[in-house]
Structure 1
Amino acid sequence: MWQALAAILSIAYCIPAQATAAHLAEAMAWQSPSMAWAPPRSLAAAGDGVLDPATRWQPVALPAARERRTPSATPGDGTPPQVWWLRMQVPASALAPTPQGPRLYIPRWHTLGNAAVYVDGRLAWQSRGSRVLVSFNQPVWLDLGGDVRPDQPLTVHVRMASAQGAGGALSSLWAGPAEELRAGWRLRSLLQSDLLAYVRGANLVLGVLALAVWLARRRQGETGYLLFFLMSLSHVFGTSLFLVDAEGFGLDDSWFTWLTMAGSLSASTCAFLLLCRIQGRRYPRLARALLLYVATAALALLPLWSPPLGAFLPLVRLAQIPAALPLVGAAVAGAWRLRAWPHVLLAAMMVLLFPLWLHDLAMQSFRVSAEHIYATPYLYAGVIAMFLAAAFQRYQQAAREAEQARAVLAERLADQERELGRTHERLRAAERQQTLMHERQRLMREMHDGVGSSLMSALRVVQHGQAEVDVAQVLKECIDDLKISIDSLEPVDADLLALLAGLRFRLEQRLGEAGIALRWHTRDVPPLPWLDAQSALHVLRILQEVLTNIVKHSGATAITVSTAEAACGGAPGVHVCVRDDGRPFTPPTALPPGRRGLGNVRARARALDARCDWAPQAHGTVFTLWLPLQRGPARGTPATA
């Protein structure tokens, strides 16, 4: 690090004190009779008297300009140029040796034609490319190191060949050490071209981003993003004139000029339409008139039938005024109505647009110093920035409104949730009440039709003294009915075998006392999801009725109960088989009076979407109860006896 610092200090001390840049603000001017567009290879080869001692040079102050008349001739149309020479003297004090050597720095030159710089009679620099779209905004930076002689001044000539009546302008010149002039040259390059190129690039990136947003939301009618993209793209085309370099753009001069004009008109139109959207206002008639004017002006200035635009570009640029007036009016009206700082700044920029635009027009006409900076391109960039600020403020307002709406919706949702909770509690209470009522009714009906009926039968036996009836047996049946009703309330979790196990526990002893052996051959069967308390009671009542009939009427000595998985009519299900070895039984098609038991069996089976069948055998009967795995809509409870 110390070695690097020492090297920097040694370089600094090597710069002589007398090496100070010279500002060349005076020159000698002479209009040459030369008819040649191309600059000569040297002053000696000029042949127009530029080195003749008799030539009468006139002193001029720099920056210097010749008035531009519009329209004028165009380079390349066959007319000879007007050649203008300027001669300046660089003092020897500005050419003292330095580590980086002396430089010649010209901030700007401009004309319709070309320019060349000669140092001590030698051609040191010349403009290239188009004679119309010249690189007028690119500062000239020329190395003088090869032309310096110790303690001798340098003579610098500038030759400008211009179209007839086109005029021209040349800024003052600077000559001296590169170390001293580089900062000014860099700053001038930045202000005249580089910064504008950065701004154009940033605007184009923002425009592409807006285009992507529009493509994603075009169905929502978000045309503001498309307008911003078109405005950014138009700004790129409208400011291209200020960024022409020595290589040019490879486009015909007339078409390039028309493209910059169309870009400026389009930028104003898109800005007006976008501003109307941001402000929430519509000017349909004014918008239609503006679009019609821009389309007409663009068609009228097409190079297909219009004269060369470069020859009278300042006059053509007057066409921008009608396109800019609606934008200025909308900006001022919006600032007055909205009173928001982005709209106020935008209106201020729009008001400044005309004096700055007139300033740039005067520069193009060579009526203002060539050392000024073109301000209109940066004003367009400021307008885009203000559009972004206004759009951002609108976004913030929309975000606040969305936040408030979200808070209101959240509060409403909380109220709805609370009301829904209260409603849910009321529904649950009503459901519990209804469930209790239904269960109470079911139990009362079962107690009345089952146990109640049996008790009434026993009571009539006792009252009438019917000795042939076994009262104890009747009471046992009452107790069995009561136990079965209670068993149906036990949860079985859709397990049919658990339900049958309870029935076996209740009836096995009674069947044993009657001298009937009860055998079980059950297999695992799929669960029945619909097997709730009501359905379980139906199954138990069916099997109870079948077993009771076997005990009373068949004279059987053995009963076998089995289960298996079986399908019926293509529907999956399970069946329960009850086989006895008593007298065969065939159920009648029409039930006689007093035989309501079989009717109850069939009615309960229909309530379960089940099927029941009696198949008489050689020795006994097989009763089959088929139960589906899935039931249809719930049916009413059958009457019981």
Structure 2
Amino acid sequence: MWLDLARLALRFLLAGAAAGGAALAGVLPAHLVQAQAWNPASGGWAPPPSLHESPDAVLSSTIPWSTVDLPHARARSTVSTAAQADAPPEVWWYRLRVPGEALAATPQGTRLYIPRWQTVGTVAVYADGHLVWQSHGSRVWNSFNRPVWVDLAGHAAPGVPLEVHVRMANLPGVGGALSSVWAGPAEALWPGWRLRSLLQTDLVAYLRGAYLVLGVFALAVWLVRRGRGEAGYLLFFLLSVGHLLATLFYLVDAEGFGVPDEWFSWLTLVGSLGSSACSFFLLCRMLGRGYPRLARAVVAYCGLVALAALPLWDLRHEAMLPLLRLALFPPALVVLCVAALGAWRERSWSSVLLAGAVALSFPLAVHDLAMQRYRISIEHIYLTPYVYMGVFTMFLLVGFTRYHRALEVAEQANAVQAERLAAQELQLRETHELLRAAEREQTLLHERQRLMREMHDGVGSSLMSALRLVETAPAAPVDVAQVLRECIDDLKISIDSLEPVNADLLALLAGLRYRLGLRLEGAGLVMHWQVDDLPPLPWLDAQNALHVLRILQEILTNILKHSGATEIVLSTAEAVWPPPEGGGDGTRGVQVCIRDNGRPFSPPASEALAPARRGLPNVHSRALALGAHCTWSTSDGAQAQGSTFTLWLPLHKQG
């Protein structure tokens, strides 16, 4: 029922195209649905160059022409002997008369349009007794599926009836068929010819090319991901190649493919068998089920048929093409059963559609086989290529559905993972806040301990010294005010070390000058500053700044108490350590120099220091903590006067 509706729709479509073209041309073309046929007793494969040179004397008035309806088909046998296959051809002539009113003069001229012819042999078309078109190449795999489009320029006069002859030479017993014929203005016939060319060959070629591109892409994916259970991509590629080989004979043109007839027939057969086997394995993979015994049976059957059909055994394919096509039904039936069973078990729309597409291929294959056997009109369109497209599209659709499901599962997994990650980030943030709070508390504790230690060693030590002097020598005069000033200076220096100096040593020295300036002036000492710009010291934090201040405070206090100097010069500069001797390279740093004009001073060896004198050991220990170096030097000569203290500080503290 539905096949009849499809045929009716196609006829209306083609008729509509022809009518539309006729309306554009203004002249109705002639649709020839009757012809006169004649089967001469002799003939050859090659058509004569003209009817006057034909050995059949086609132009003779004594020929017993018989009237036939177009399309006209002659019965075809399934099997012939080798002798029949090598016998001379059977020749049939068709004579048609084109009315003069269909041959009006138009800008594009007149054309002869034959929708389809089919036989195992050759076909030639004559207009006004002259050869205007003939088939070329293979007699078996010829251009039967391509509409004939002949330019009648020079052979048809406007308004004059034209006689057209069609010569068909074929193998004995294989029969032949000729469709109805159109003749008239090119403008009127072009839409119908173009539409039929699209449906019979061009669209099939476009779709085959598109699916082969997808198959190559699947092959590339398999090559990248092989070994990961992705054999479905390889099966998809093999399926696309098999479909291409199985439908090549629909696309043969006058030039052919340059492959011998037997091997070309065998390739199309192997392509059909291979596509059925790949469809079976791909379907099993998509349904998640395996049928080992059935799989072995399918492979064995396809292999045996392909082996038996090899041209090596002198098998005459041209005489038994329909029989070879029947050999494709068993594996296709297995694919249908597997698809139907999968649809019954899964009950999903994709599996049902896939089973329906596979089931649809059977009546359409019967339709095409009937066309090959000339059981139905050859003006129909071969539908098997489009069934392949439908099944192929269903595989793509099912694959896309499964891919979409995989994406949804991946998205859900990503969402769950994102939630877990957010919870872990929150927990990590809370832990980080706790660690930062503990770190702040630890830092404050260390700072308190450092301040307590500095106050104990600085202010506390000074107060204890003053208390010891008062208690042990009450009769001696003690400058308590001076002691208290020193205690206050110690306290202020400890407080100043807490101020940020931003790695600027000069800012630190400026604070020291401010704190000790009044005290030095009160003692009659004049202090000169000769400072230059210095590079920043990244390591100069509060604790290290206090070490620097304590060292310089100790040196200035010793000068004040013991040297009797009247002038002090404090200078800064960039320097390297150790000092360059003989061109050697040292470590870059800065130095602070304090020079006085008092009594020269040379520090005693560390083991010679009195236990009560802790100033110089503190200087050395603090310099060691900074990674610094401190030296004392005096002027040479009999009139030597004054000492120079140098504190070298590195630009980058090691460790």
- TM score, norm. by length of structure 1: 0.83
Q: Give the Å deviation of 1:534.
A: 0.8
Pick one of 502, 505, 519 that aligns with 2:514. 505
The corresponding residue for 2:627 is 609
Cα distance in 2 between the residues matched to 1:463 and 1:535: 36
Amino acid across the alignment from 1:571: T
Task: Flag structure 2 segments of 5+ consecutive residues without an equivalent.
Answer: 1-21, 579-585
The CA RMSD over aligned residues, in Å, is 3.8
The corresponding residue for 2:583 is none
User: What does 1:546-565 align with in structure 2 at a 5 Å threshold?
Assistant: 546-565=555-574
Amino acid across the alignment from 1:494: A
Cα distance in 2 between the residues matched to 1:357 and 1:14: 38
The corresponding residue for 1:585 is 602
- Residue-by-residue CA offset, 1:298-350 (whole Å, 9 max, x unaligned): 56545455535344333333443455455434533443444443432222111
Cα distance in 1 between the residues matched to 2:364 and 2:560: 118
- Residue-by-residue CA offset, 1:342-379 (whole Å, 9 max, x unaligned): 43222211112223223323322334432222111111
Q: Is the 8 A contact 1:74 1:310 kept in 2?
A: no
User: What does 1:464-543 align with in structure 2 at a 5 Å threshold?
Assistant: 464=472, 465=474, 467-543=476-552
The corresponding residue for 2:576 is 567
Q: Is the 8 A contact 1:574 1:627 kept in 2?
A: yes
Amino acid across the alignment from 1:167: G
The corresponding residue for 2:378 is 370
Q: Give the Å deviation of 1:491.
A: 1.0
Cα distance in 2 between the residues matched to 1:427 and 1:575: 39
Pick one of 462, 468, 471 that aligns with 1:460. 468
Q: Is the 8 A contact 1:192 1:374 kept in 2?
A: yes
Amino acid across the alignment from 2:352: V
Pick one of 585, 599, 602 that aligns with 2:617. 599
Q: Is the 8 A contact 2:128 2:156 kept in 1?
A: no
Cα distance in 2 between the residues matched to 1:560 and 1:78: 127
Amino acid across the alignment from 1:632: Q
Q: Give the Å deviation of 1:550.
A: 3.1
Cα distance in 1 between the residues matched to 2:296 and 2:630: 85
Cα distance in 2 between the residues matched to 1:169 and 1:374: 15
Q: Give the Å deviation of 1:507.
A: 1.9
Larger mean Cα displacement after TM superposition, 335-344 or 569-578: 335-344
Please tell me whether residue 238 in structure 1 is matched to residue 246 in structure 2. yes
Q: Is the 8 A contact 1:455 1:475 kept in 2?
A: yes
Cα distance in 2 between the residues matched to 1:260 and 1:576: 97
Q: Give the Å deviation of 1:153.
A: 6.6
Q: Is the 8 A contact 1:565 1:575 kept in 2?
A: yes
Cα distance in 1 between the residues matched to 2:604 and 2:327: 109
- Residue-by-residue CA offset, 1:233-284 (whole Å, 9 max, x unaligned): 4433332211222232333323333333333334344444554555555667
Alpha carbons of structure 1 residues 71 and 572: separation in structure 2 relative to 1, 3 Å: farther
- Residue-by-residue CA offset, 1:210-250 (whole Å, 9 max, x unaligned): 56666777798766555544443443333221122223233
Q: Is the 8 A contact 1:73 1:166 kept in 2?
A: no
Alpha carbons of structure 1 residues 268 and 577: separation in structure 2 relative to 1, 3 Å: farther
Q: Is the 8 A contact 2:85 2:172 kept in 1?
A: no
- Residue-by-residue CA offset, 1:478-498 (whole Å, 9 max, x unaligned): 111111111111111111111
The corresponding residue for 1:314 is 322
Q: Give the Å deviation of 1:556.
A: 3.6
Q: Secondary structure of 1:158's partner?
A: strand
- TM score, norm. by length of structure 2: 0.82
The corresponding residue for 1:625 is 647
Cα distance in 2 between the residues matched to 1:60 and 1:616: 138
Q: Is the 8 A contact 1:67 1:366 kept in 2?
A: yes
Cα distance in 2 between the residues matched to 1:47 and 1:463: 157
Amino acid across the alignment from 1:447: M
Larger mean Cα displacement after TM superposition, 524-533 or 253-262: 253-262
Pick one of 138, 161, 168 that aligns with 1:160. 168
Please tell me whether residue 171 in structure 1 is matched to residue 175 in structure 2. no
Alpha carbons of structure 1 residues 418 and 149: separation in structure 2 relative to 1, 3 Å: closer
Alpha carbons of structure 1 residues 453 and 340: separation in structure 2 relative to 1, 3 Å: same
Q: Is the 8 A contact 2:466 2:483 kept in 1?
A: yes
Q: Secondary structure of 1:160's partner?
A: strand
Pick one of 385, 394, 397 that aligns with 1:389. 397
Q: Give the Å deviation of 1:438.
A: 1.6
Amino acid across the alignment from 1:573: G
Cα distance in 1 between the residues matched to 2:560 and 2:86: 134
Cα distance in 1 between the residues matched to 2:533 and 2:312: 95
Q: Is the 8 A contact 1:15 1:98 kept in 2?
A: no
Cα distance in 2 between the residues matched to 1:397 and 1:90: 64
Q: Is the 8 A contact 2:114 2:180 kept in 1?
A: yes
- Residue-by-residue CA offset, 1:32-73 (whole Å, 9 max, x unaligned): 321422223445544447566776666655433333334446
Cα distance in 2 between the residues matched to 1:420 and 1:126: 84
Alpha carbons of structure 1 residues 291 and 544: separation in structure 2 relative to 1, 3 Å: farther
User: What does 1:221-260 align with in structure 2 at a 5 Å threshold?
Assistant: 227-260=235-268
Q: Secondary structure of 2:533's partner?
A: coil
Larger mean Cα displacement after TM superposition, 277-286 or 324-333: 277-286
Q: Is the 8 A contact 1:609 1:631 kept in 2?
A: yes
Alpha carbons of structure 1 residues 115 and 76: separation in structure 2 relative to 1, 3 Å: farther
Pick one of 77, 83, 87 that aligns with 1:69. 77
Q: Is the 8 A contact 1:73 1:164 kept in 2?
A: no
Count of aligned pairs? 619
Alpha carbons of structure 1 residues 611 and 326: separation in structure 2 relative to 1, 3 Å: farther
Alpha carbons of structure 1 residues 280 and 568: separation in structure 2 relative to 1, 3 Å: farther
Please tell me whether residue 354 in structure 1 is matched to residue 376 in structure 2. no
Alpha carbons of structure 1 residues 386 and 499: separation in structure 2 relative to 1, 3 Å: same
The corresponding residue for 1:443 is 451
Q: Give the Å deviation of 1:527.
A: 1.0
Q: Secondary structure of 1:32's partner?
A: coil
Alpha carbons of structure 1 residues 472 and 185: separation in structure 2 relative to 1, 3 Å: closer
Alpha carbons of structure 1 residues 466 and 564: separation in structure 2 relative to 1, 3 Å: farther
Larger mean Cα displacement after TM superposition, 272-281 or 255-264: 272-281
Larger mean Cα displacement after TM superposition, 300-309 or 423-432: 300-309
The corresponding residue for 1:3 is none
Cα distance in 1 between the residues matched to 2:542 and 2:397: 72
Q: Give the Å deviation of 1:291.
A: 5.8
Q: Is the 8 A contact 1:450 1:478 kept in 2?
A: yes
